[in-house]
Amino acid sequence: MLLLWIGALVLLLCIARWVYQWRNPRCNGKLPPGSMGFPLVGETLQFFSPSTSSDVHPFVKDRMERYGPIFKTSLVGQPVIVSANSDLNHFVFLQEGQLFQSWYPDTFTEVLGRQNLSSLHDFMYKYLKNMVLSLFGPEGLKKMIPDVERMACQTLQRWSIQETVELKDATSSLIFDLTAKKLISCEPGNASQNLRDNFVAFIQGLISFPLNIPGTAYHKCLQGRKNTMKMLKKLLNERRAAIPGKNRVDFFDFVLEELDKEGTILTEAIALDLMFALLFASYETTSLALTMAVKFLSDHPSVLRKLREEHEAILGNRENTDSGLTWKEYKSMTYTFQFINETVRLANIAPLIFRKALRDIEVKGYTIPAGWAVMVIPPAVHLNPAKYQDPLTFNPSRWEQGEINGASKNFMAFGGGMRFCIGADFAKLQMAVFLHCLVTKYRWEPIKGGNTVRTPGLQFPDGFHIRLMEKTRME
């Protein structure tokens, strides 16, 4: 009996020591303040709790008030330094590949792919980035304008004869079909629908509690990825079996050319993960931004009026009003780009960006230990009243005197540093062209939905339903 008591006491002491070490991690310096939460779980449950506020997520805001803009925590078993400080964020981005490198939790990497762009570094990352820019660079975008405009006009015409349109799903389909056509020549139809259906399951579980049990959102997410990768693999095999020497028609052909080059560093796994990532980015992020854009226009008639004036002026300056958009006209959309910047600032579609410290780093009076993650919080910067007057107010005119391209310490909707979003210009082009077609030819009225939830990713739990109508000549 005595031995049992001694054994129990030793076990309790071991557990107490383990809990103490968890809550007080070792550091060769001074860690930021904060709590590591419960052993193993950390503060993961609080992190994923839903919020209906358009302000900074309560998980971050509450801790900023308690500890300041830099604090420590633990998420899904990983120690994390959270940064809501614009100077530290900027420093982290600039030191990519030197002091920090891109990193995401294992659960996130599992669903995006072990060889995805976010997980690759140095030469391989630059190599893939240059490949993508062959499609999404300025010359590629110039060639895309007619296709983007044609698909936007056709889609809006189809919506206008429907009783209502759920905008988030509808814009997701539009953007996905356009990108799938450019990437893999997948025309709207059954094949495109099958791909899209798998992405729906994937998206719903991407930012969810990582519990891989049948029935959970995370499990459905993994299944969605698995099915999508099977389809992409099948397509790759079909392309390889096709007649050799045919002309290149899409980005997948370009990828296959690279795979077949002697001494190539590109592997099939990396190529498939790249295609998956590009489809994912188009499906979710741009459609969310467009849905928020229409919601903001619905809520702010004066902004809609000013945006419509800019686009009607473009039509008025043409010799033939029915001629398509030109690159020069696109680049002249000054207020439109201000509107897009303000939309993505408030929407905060990328609520967090991860990096990992490559060695112990002294910064801002604290030590970031080697191997710890750094979680940059863009909403904390975008909604900082010291940087943006009335930060929760939608006001595109605040960008009149500011830089509307690229990234800065106070604007990181598309990331920053050498990993600034490769598809940012493509997303802006799609948004601007869609808005041009929308405001010059149509009017609409919200029917239901439009409320948002952040978990911490942005969601429309009830959708955003509108009725779209063609404008009359007098409007």
pLDDT at 133: 82
Could you give the angle at the alpha carbon of 341 between the alpha carbons of 338 and 343, nearest 5°? 110
Q: Which residues contact 131 (CB under 8 A, 6 or more apart)?
A: 254, 255, 258, 274
DSSP string, 85-100: -HHHHHHHHHTBTTTE
Cis-peptide into 456, omega within 30 deg: yes
Kindly state the tokens that stand for 391. 């930060």
**Looking at the domain assignment, is residue 19 inside a domain?**
no
Q: Cα–Cα distance between 423 and 274 in angstroms, integer?
A: 13
**Looking at the domain assignment, is residue 174 inside a domain?**
yes
* Residue range of the domain that includes 259: 28-470
CB 180 within 8 A of CB 192: yes
Q: Where are the alpha helices (DSSP H) in 263-370?
A: 268-281, 287-299, 301-316, 327-331, 334-347
Q: Which residues contact 462 (CB under 8 A, 6 or more apart)?
A: 448, 449, 450, 451
**Looking at the domain assignment, is residue 20 inside a domain?**
no
Q: Quick one: which H or E segment has residue 46? A: helix 44-47
CB 418 within 8 A of CB 97: yes
The total of structural domains in the chain comes to: 1
pLDDT at 255: 83
Q: Which amino acid is at 275?
A: M
CB 444 within 8 A of CB 298: yes
Q: Check residue 82 and report its DSSP letter.
A: E
CB 355 within 8 A of CB 100: yes
Q: Cα–Cα distance between 278 and 129 in angstroms, integer?
A: 11
pLDDT at 67: 95
pLDDT at 393: 95
Q: Cα–Cα distance between 386 and 375 in angstroms, integer?
A: 21
Reported pTM: 0.88
Q: Rounded to 5 degrees, what are φ and ψ at 334?
A: -60, -50
Residue numbers in the chain where pLDDT is lower than 70: 1-22, 24, 106-121, 187-212, 215, 217, 243-248, 402-407, 473-475
How buried is residue 402: exposed, middle or buried, by Cβ count under 10 Å (0-12/13-18/19+)? exposed
Kindly state the tokens that stand for 369. 């230990």
pLDDT at 422: 81
Q: 3-class SS at 319?
A: coil
Q: Which residues pair with 449 in a beta bridge?
A: 464
At 415, which CATH number? 1.10.630.10
Q: Per-residue pLDDT tens for 389-400? A: 999 999 999 998
Three-class secondary structure assignment of 222-276: HHHHHHHHHHHHHHHHHHHHCCCCCCCCCHHHHHHHHHHCCCCCCCHHHHHHHHH
In sign, the C-alpha dihedral spanning 203, 207, 208, 213 is positive
pLDDT at 60: 94
Could you give the angle at the alpha carbon of 217 between the alpha carbons of 454 and 118, nearest 5°? 70
**Looking at the domain assignment, is residue 137 inside a domain?**
yes
Q: Rounded to 5 degrees, what are φ and ψ at 286?
A: -70, -35
CA separation, residue 370 to residues 356, 359, 363, 417, 470 (Å)? 8, 4, 13, 21, 58
